[in-house]
């Protein structure tokens, strides 16, 4: 007698399944996003042992593993560390070209925040230049409540 698996023809069904879900960013992420939404403030966390300020905030220090982080307001201005400018349109892009994907080191932070830079002219962007956050008028409690960063003259 053969096993049922040997007598069964495999069947593959291709399709899409929509699975609605909620995702929680934890206490640390929630406080960060609520501050963006409700106060237009960018918060980081500071490690009292190694004195590093992390943005986005962390629940514990990634350098010395200290679990006792302190909240600090940073920015909204900072330094453009590095960037790349896509010159084409893709559905996945968060903005219409020209814009830059960038790392911005906010004033008071020791780490960089990956975000969008816009409102710049040809060859205007340079590593080390000053930028500042532009907040959306209607904020929803996510990272795009900072609509983009723009160069400061």
What is the Cα–Cα distance from 47 to 82, expressed in whole angstroms? 25
Query: Phi and psi dihedrals of 83, rounded to 5?
Result: -165, 165
Share of the chain above pLDDT 90, in %: 72
Split at pLDDT 50, 70, 90, the class of 1 is low
Q: What percentage of the chain's residues is helix, strand, coil (to nearest 5)? A: 15, 30, 60
Place of tokens 């640390």: 28
Report pLDDT digits (tens) over 123-148.
999 999 999 999 999 999 999 999 99
What is the Cα–Cα distance from 31 to 44, expressed in whole angstroms? 10
């Amino acid at each position: 007698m053969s096993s049922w698996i040997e007598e069964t023809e495999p069947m593959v069904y291709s399709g899409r399944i929509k699975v609605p879900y909620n995702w929680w960013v934890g206490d640390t992420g929630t406080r960060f996003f609520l501050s963006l939404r409700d106060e237009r403030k960018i918060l980081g966390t500071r490690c009292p042992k190694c004195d590093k300020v992390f943005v986005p905030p962390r629940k514990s220090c990634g350098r010395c593993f200290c679990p006792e982080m302190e909240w600090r307001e940073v920015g909204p201005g900072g330094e453009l560390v590095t960037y790349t400018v896509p010159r084409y349109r893709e559905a996945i892009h968060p903005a219409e070209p020209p814009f830059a994907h960038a790392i911005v080191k906010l004033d008071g932070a020791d780490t960089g925040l990956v975000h969008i830079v816009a409102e710049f002219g040809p060859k205007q962007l340079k590593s080390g230049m000053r930028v500042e956050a532009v907040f959306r008028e209607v904020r929803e409690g996510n990272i795009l409540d900072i609509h983009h960063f723009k160069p400061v003259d």
